[in-house]
Amino acid sequence: MEASSLKKAGILSLIVALIIMGCWEFYLRSIGVSNSFDDNEALWAYKRAQIYDEPERSTFFIGSSRIKFDIDLRTWKEVTGEKPVQLALVGTSPQLILKNLADDKNFNGKLIVDGTEFILFSRDPGDQESAKKSIEYYKKWTPAQKASFYIDYVLQRNLVFLESKKFSLNGILDLLTLAERKSVPVFRGFPIGFEPTTFDRQNVMSDDFTNDTTRQRQVKNAWIQFGAVSSTPGIKGDSLQNIFKDLKISIDKIKASGGQVIFLRPPSSGEARAGERIAYPRELYWNKLLQYTNTPGIYFEDYPEIANFECPEWSHLSRQQAVVFTKKIIEILQKEKGWVFNNKQTTSFNNINAKNF
Amino acid sequence: MVFNSYTFIVFFIIMLVLHNLPLPWKIKKINLLIASYIFYAAWNPPFVLLLWLATIVDFYVGKALYTQPNKYKRHLLLVISLIGNLGMLCFFKYGGFLLENFTHLVNAMGINYHPAKPNIILPAGISFYTFTTLCYTIDMYKRRSEPVKSMLDFALFVTFFPHLVAGPIVRPPQLVPQFETPRTANQKQLLQGLLLISLGLFMKVVLADSMLANPANTVFNSNDALNTLDAWMGVLAFSGQIFFDFAGYSSCAIGVASCLGFVLPENFLYPYAAIGFSDFWRRWHITLSAWLRDYLYIPLGGNRHGKFKTYINLMITMLLGGLWHGANWTFVAWGALHGFYLWVEKFMQDLKTRKKPVPEMVMQSNIVTRGIMAPRFLKTVQSSNFLLALFTFFLVNVTWVFFRAPDFTSAWRILTSMFSHVSKGTVLLSTLTIIKVSVIVVAMVLFHWFMRNTRVLTVASKLPWWVLGLIWSAMLILLILSQESSSSFIYFQF
């Protein structure tokens, strides 16, 4: 082939690719899809590295998806004047992240640990996998990967089709309905609008989602499929004791370095809450956890203002609910738990509402 | 830095601009050298020191080897070079493996010895650049070619970023002369290079990472006895994954070099269309098999000392070739299985040629031009005999089990699941995954078969420009859509 034909082929390929991807982007925006960042190992590593920035002026969050939805980071920053760093990982026990922070002698910040029992008290390797991968990635984060991360950030900020979970090739193929094989659980992903992720790693339900009971039902069905609303009794005996022991070792290390730790039990409702009550009675898990680790905790049901949220899909708060919840948590931390934040403008509690977003 | 990353795209654009500026050739070469060090340091900056060490030692030792008249001093210089190159490789790649095996051995002898597990980080691509520098000093020792005159050219030969971390493994005569005269790509080379890069990235990102990696990992990471279909799908997925991953890398490397005006040797020629195992090794990782042939098999004696010795040399070559891929006995088993297949093939060949022996010289020249060991009897096979290629592909799949499995227990478990009925074997893969693997693997084998006697650029040149443009755009769209994060190429670990 002559160079001119190759040139024509190359130009045609670029034009076709640009037109098709442009149409795809336009279509997704037209159906209300907004920007969402890939909550991958690189983003986690970027946030993990922030523990060295100003640890004494930052609050760190670890746990699973509930704390990622329920703590509104913008509200946190505006009210406390401190930088919130979200290190929780969806579907992941905070055990390994806690240990990783405890083993880092430089860590002496404020730490809030998601106390959702079925994931905090889990030894299932699947519940540790993301944490393991993210920590490994962080340790080996190469200069090339860092540079790619920053370029990726610019692209993801501007193109909605780059949300890989939903709009990647595999995400699209997963929408195909096929006769499934017996005993192979197939998860086709969460509906659009349930879990958009900000660059700060907060998950924020879209307004469309919070108004759409069909999509909420899809997520509820997913929780049933995952066994997250099960009332099967949780881990007990030596296994539970060993988890308590490991948590205590890590917490003691952080305290010894000058850090502060508190457990936070985020809200749930409906069938999820009903299952949790049976599977993880408070006196056998939460109370013992605080007692064994000698660590304070905030249990949502102890505070009327945040005790009765109706989570849209039983397990996570909407954006508006998260703002209310976050403000209350800060208030409890300051007034009840003795936490001191650098910013004194606690009067601004009532000036912040979800419309700020 | 990996080719499938945003960092590389920016890096490559800068390199293309710099390389096409009206600068003196020496400055352009210095640019290429600095860029190659940046390319490598982007993984782990301190490991650039190893590259510098290997470059400096081998440049001066190579020159001395060529000019030194004293036989004993030349031997000594060769030993220094071998110790330097292989010592580094042994320490970083095989240090932990050797210690582990030594510990097992002394424990078996009743000595209670439990050393701490060494925490050695493997420098990316060390096996590749060690073989590149090693062949230079051996060539100098044998006086096969002239020593490289300029340190800059030698450093660039060792470090040139397209081939640095995963090949193709280049020989000095293939690359050094290209650094001696100014080179920039003409429009055709540039466009062909871009086409090869698109194809390589499509193979790596879309097919290997996005479609096949997950089923292969699911099956090979499982600790259960598997359903036969799942076991086969996992192994077939890995067959596809490793081909698309490595051939994709090689296409990118050749394409990147082409965009800069350089030519790198081909590394893959549709290996799953191979008829027999010597044919397979003429098509799979060609530059490695040629290296092993020229610097191991032939020095061991090749086929010059009788049939028995030939068989032994063949097996030694394949065992060490297996070990080159990784510090684990499973890789040795993989090599042994390939050695065994080659034995059987050679035995059949010997039976056929017993009445009509082939002169040694003819055999050698055939080897040099085409691959490790040509199966003469198979050359009479009609190209339409697709079944033999399928049988070869089937046997290759069996070897991949040892290559991919983390240990022998896992390998046996998968082989048992593949070849026997496991009652209540675990079902792992979804219908969609099975469809993906089946479609891709069938398409891959058919594509290899129809392409076995041609090249992708030859076929592309015969297509109408708009057809090529549409195929090219489909690759680009799927590449963008797949959105795989920049995972490393499998062969970086070797």
Q: Which long-range contacts (CB under 8 A, 24 or more apart) does B320-324 make?
A: B320/B292, B320/B296, B321/B288, B321/B289, B321/B292, B324/B127, B324/B288, B324/B494
Question: pLDDT tier at B493 (50, 70, 90 boundaries)?
Answer: low
Query: What pTM does this model have?
Result: 0.85
Measured between beta carbons, which residues in chain A are less than 8 angstroms from residue B211? Answer: 169-170
Contacts of A338 (CB under 8 A, 6+ apart): none
pLDDT at site A347 = 42
Compute CA distances A70 → A64, A327, B95, B230, whole Å: 11, 11, 48, 40
B419 has a pLDDT exceeding 70: yes
HSE-up (13 A, CA, CB side) for residue A291: 8
Measured CA to CA, the distance from residue B484 to residue B404 in angstroms comes to: 21
What's the mean pLDDT in B308-320?
92
pLDDT at site A32 = 83
Measured CA to CA, the distance from residue A163 to residue A173 in angstroms comes to: 15
Measured CA to CA, the distance from residue B406 to residue A258 in angstroms comes to: 42
Cα Rg, chain B, nearest whole Å: 23
A129 shares contact with chain B (CB less than 8 Å) = no
Per residue in A117-147, pLDDT (tens digit) is: 989 998 888 889 999 999 999 998 888 889 8
pLDDT at site B280 = 94
Q: Which of A347-351, B54-58, B245-249 has the lowest mean pLDDT?
A: A347-351
What's the mean pLDDT in A99-127?
90
pLDDT at site A55 = 66
What's the mean pLDDT in B1-12?
90
B362 has a pLDDT exceeding 50: no
Residue B242 DSSP SS3: helix
Among B119, B52, B133, B44, smallest CA distance to B85 is for B133
What's the mean pLDDT in A264-291?
91
Measured between beta carbons, which residues in chain B are less than 8 angstroms from residue A164? Answer: 483
Query: Which value does ipTM take for this structure?
Result: 0.80
Distance from the Cα of residue B256 to its chain's centroid: 17
pLDDT at site A349 = 42
B365 has a pLDDT exceeding 80: no
Among A83, A82, A85, A74, smallest CA distance to A44 is for A85
Question: pLDDT tier at B491 (50, 70, 90 boundaries)?
Answer: low
Residue A81 DSSP SS3: coil
Tokens linked to A355: 């419309």
Please provide the average confidence, as pLDDT, over all residues in chain B. Answer: 87
pLDDT at site B330 = 94
Max avg pLDDT among A207-221, A269-283, B137-151, B464-478: B464-478
B376 has a pLDDT exceeding 70: no
Interface with chain A: mutation pick from B430, B456, B457, B462, highest number of A CBs within 10 Å? B430
pLDDT at site B409 = 92
B353 has a pLDDT exceeding 90: no
Per residue in A282-337, pLDDT (tens digit) is: 999 999 999 999 999 999 999 999 999 999 999 999 999 999 999 999 999 999 98
In the stretch 40-99 of chain B, residues with CB closer than 8 A to chain A read 41-45
Neighbours of A31 (CB within 10 A): 8
Per residue in B423-447, pLDDT (tens digit) is: 788 888 999 999 999 999 999 999 9
Q: Is B80 left (phi over 0), alpha (psi -120 to 50) or beta?
A: alpha
- Dihedral angle over CA of A125, A130, A136, A140, nearest 10: 160
Tokens linked to B40: 């490598």
Stated length of chain A: 357
Question: pLDDT tier at B401 (50, 70, 90 boundaries)?
Answer: very high
Measured CA to CA, the distance from residue B78 to residue A34 in angstroms comes to: 63
Compute CA distances A234 → A79, A113, A116, A269, A282, whole Å: 37, 19, 12, 18, 12
Q: Which residue has the tokens 């099975």?
A: B434
B249 has a pLDDT exceeding 70: yes
Q: Which of A86-100, A341-355, B191-205, B308-322 has the lowest mean pLDDT?
A: A341-355
Q: B210: nearest CA in chain A?
A: A170
Measured between beta carbons, which residues in chain A are less than 8 angstroms from residue B476? Answer: 13-14, 17
pLDDT at site B265 = 94
Interface with chain B: mutation pick from A5, A41, A183, A187, highest number of B CBs within 10 Å? A5
pLDDT at site B167 = 77
DSSP 8-state code for residue B454: S
pLDDT at site B464 = 93
pLDDT at site B378 = 47
pLDDT at site B442 = 96
What's the mean pLDDT in A76-83?
90
Compare CB distances from A1 to B1, B461, B478 and report the shortest one's residue: B461
In the stretch 135-164 of chain A, residues with CB closer than 8 A to chain B read 142-145, 147-148, 151-152, 155, 161-162, 164
A6 shares contact with chain B (CB less than 8 Å) = yes
What's the mean pLDDT in A171-194?
83
> Quick one: what percent of chain A has pLDDT higher than 90?
54
> Quick one: what percent of chain B has pLDDT higher than 90?
57
